[in-house]
Amino acid sequence: MSARPEPRPGVMKIEAYVPGKSAASGGSKIYKLSSNETPLGPSPKAVEAVRNADHLELYPDGSATRLREAIAAKYGLDPSRIVCGAGSDELLALITHAYVGPGDEGIFTQHGFLVYRIAILAAGGTPVVAEEKDYRTDVDAILAKVTERTKIVFLANPNNPTGTYIPFDEVKRLHAGLPSHVVLVLDAAYAEYVRRNDYEAGLELVATAENVVMMRTFSKIYGLANLRIGWMVAPAHIVDAVNRIRGPFNMNGPAMAAGIAAVQDDAHLAKSVEHNEQWLAWLTREIEALGLTVTPSVANFLMIHFPDEPGRTAKDADAFLSGRGLILRRIDSYGLPQALRLTVGSEEANRLVVEALRDFMKGGNNA
């Protein structure tokens, strides 16, 4: 008998998620390029919706009805198949708690989003890691890890922090190889940024399968990370299970109002896509010209690889850039100690990053 309360098995194995840093050691102006936030900010219509939010003394709609209807209208979905949450992080936790317990396994890829591991351990399950190939999801490696204990498979597509993706044909091949009782979670947080003909976020699979869930977020291209809005679409029986454990008022009114306005503002979305397409290509080209390796990305960030040489490591580069007010993301916790993740920022921020990296590679200083 313990002398004090003890957490359930698995909880103390969790390494708490550490977000990208927000402060830098130098620079007259700080450029936060560590959390994949959009430099264009949210739709002005979404900002106005928050300003006009009233009746704060009343509980919000516990079913997020109007937000689900707005999302459904945009994507041609049945609103009853949608669940909204406080960011897709909450929904990832809910789907895991609904289907994973002690003795069960959950699979994710080698450099997959850290929240998958946390969610599996928190539910009492066992995390199983599938190796990637050239920083890309390897469908065969995932299928090789499936056992009778597998209950859930997480696929970030595009993946964070690598920025890579797999074509929809490969996603369908993965699904076809999974037992019917295994839930396949397609995490499409960066789907709106992808401009590839062979990519599909997953709506087709969700519509035709009984074990596929697709997650989306308003935190990235919609610029509403502070309000915490995510949504998932799933078969009716999965929606029913998740709603049984979802908090009754897990979304607040101002957030729902902002989400409705944002999803209806196609012009702002198109502007954000155009900005990212231009500067993602420019940053890739300019950084590679400095002699650094950049993993090809389809999202709104880049993974930059640094040499394992004294004075030129990712840690050295991070300190150098921080000294100029440029905050990038260390990704040691993803098993990538020699790389930094760079969010596509404003034109000013993007040009300053390239200039600073050029000085760093020349052995310059922060003056």
Which amino acid, 15? E
> pLDDT at position 14, please?
78
Structural domains in the chain? Answer: 11-41+267-361 (3.90.1150.10), 44-265 (3.40.640.10)
Cα–Cα distance between 351 and 323 in angstroms, integer? 16
Cα–Cα distance between 271 and 77 in angstroms, integer? 25
Residue 60 phi/psi, 5-degree rounding, is: -75, 170
Cα–Cα distance between 129 and 261 in angstroms, integer? 39
Question: At CB < 8 A and 24+ separation, what contacts does 352-356 make?
Answer: 352/31, 352/324, 352/326, 353/31, 353/33, 353/283, 353/321, 353/326, 353/328, 354/283, 354/286, 354/287, 354/290, 356/320, 356/321, 356/324, 356/326
> pLDDT at position 130, please?
98
Q: How far is CA 17 from CA 116, 117, 208, in A?
A: 11, 10, 34
Cα–Cα distance between 145 and 131 in angstroms, integer? 10
- Both tokens of residue 300? 């709104």
Cα–Cα distance between 349 and 347 in angstroms, integer? 6
CA trace torsion 229, 336, 356, 309 (10° rounding): 170
What is the full per-residue pLDDT of the chain (367 aa) written as tens digits?
A: 678 888 877 788 878 767 766 666 666 699 999 999 999 999 999 999 999 999 999 999 999 999 999 999 999 999 999 999 999 999 999 999 999 999 999 999 999 999 999 999 999 999 999 999 999 999 999 999 999 999 999 999 999 999 999 999 999 999 999 999 999 999 999 999 999 999 999 999 999 999 999 999 999 999 999 999 999 999 999 999 999 999 999 999 999 999 999 999 999 999 999 999 999 999 999 999 999 999 999 999 999 999 999 999 999 999 999 999 999 999 999 999 999 999 999 999 999 999 999 999 998 665 4
Task: Give the total residue count for the chain.
Answer: 367
Which amino acid, 337? P
